[in-house]
């Protein structure tokens, strides 16, 4: 499946690839560097191979000079020397890539994923209360997980407790809707605005710092 959707807002772009191919078919259309090929061959899991290759296909849709993905010592992806920031995420069926001139974060989760069993670990008491009052509790809490993952990636901070350090403000889960969150670790709270999209049975939340 080719690139299925691109969303551009200002100097930020989000690209999405629906993963329907086999790893072998994805490999045929992917240009890998020597290091990337070694990394690819190190994956024993077929799903991980497909996710890796789908992200590389998205990278090939970026402007020249912005497609060399590497990783810093903490494992965070970067487009070294390009002047762009990047964030990637994938579910078994969808890969997402966000590129911006500012720090960014994205998370993708299939709508069938159930986060209920871990909700008390990533939601605060206040968040548990307002989400329990929502009509679609399971969906709202799944989106909250996506929000916290995206904010965590965007802020680039270490040792973040999702329940204590990231606060999601109440929202209604509709497509193309803005969500606000607060990053509470460190000094003054940092307000973060994010966007929610529903793409091919996946929830996608992404945002850019000070956007």
User: Per the structure, how many domains does the chain have?
Assistant: 2
Domain that holds residue 181: 112-208
CATH of the domain at 58: 3.90.470.20
Question: Residues of the chain with pLDDT > 70: what percent?
Answer: 97
> Looking at the structure, do residues 76 and 59 belong to the same domain, yes or no?
yes
Do 17 and 76 reside in the same domain of the chain? yes
Grouping H, G, I as helix, E, B as strand and the rest as coil, residue 108 is strand
Contact assessment for residue 144 and residue 131, using Cβ atoms and an 8 Å cutoff: yes
Name which residue leads in pLDDT, 62 or 103.
103
| Torsion angle of C-alpha atoms 141, 143, 148, 149, degrees rounded to 10 | 120
**Whether residue 79 sits in one domain with residue 133:** no
Residue where a domain terminates, one of 54, 89, 107: 107
Same domain, 7 and 97: yes
Mean pLDDT calculated for residue range 41-46: 92
46 CB-contact burial (10 Å; exposed 0-12 / middle 13-18 / buried 19+): exposed
Chain segment 12-30, per-residue pLDDT in tens = 999 999 999 999 999 987 8
Q: Which of 107, 132, 165 is the last residue in one of the domains?
A: 107
Q: Is residue 1 pLDDT above 70, yes or no?
A: no
Instruction: Check pLDDT > 90 for residue 72.
Output: no
152/102 same-domain check: no
Confidence at 73, pLDDT banded by 50, 70, 90: confident
Same domain, 94 and 127: no
């Amino acid at each position: 499946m080719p690139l299925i959707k691109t969303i551009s807002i200002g100097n930020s772009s989000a690209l999405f690839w629906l993963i329907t191919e086999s790893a072998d078919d994805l490999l045929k259309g992917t240009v890998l560097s020597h290091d990337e090929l070694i990394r690819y061959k190190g994956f024993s899991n077929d799903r991980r191979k497909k996710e890796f290759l789908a992200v590389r296909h998205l990278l090939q849709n970026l402007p020249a000079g912005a497609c060399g993905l590497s990783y810093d010592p903490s494992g965070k992806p970067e487009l070294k020397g390009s002047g762009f920031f990047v964030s990637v995420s994938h579910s078994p069926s969808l890969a997402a890539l966000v590129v911006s001139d500012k720090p960014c974060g994205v998370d993708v989760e299939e709508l069938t994923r159930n986060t209920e069993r871990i909700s008390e670990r990533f939601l605060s008491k206040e968040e548990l209360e307002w989400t329990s009052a929502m009509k679609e509790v399971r969906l709202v809490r799944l989106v909250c997980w996506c929000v916290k993952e995206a904010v965590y990636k965007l802020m680039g901070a270490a040792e973040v407790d999702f329940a204590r350090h990231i606060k999601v403000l109440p929202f209604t889960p509709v497509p193309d809707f803005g969500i606000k969150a607060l990053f509470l670790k460190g000094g003054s709270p940092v307000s973060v605005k994010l966007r929610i999209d529903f793409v091919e049975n996946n929830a996608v939340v992404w945002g850019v710092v000070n956007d």
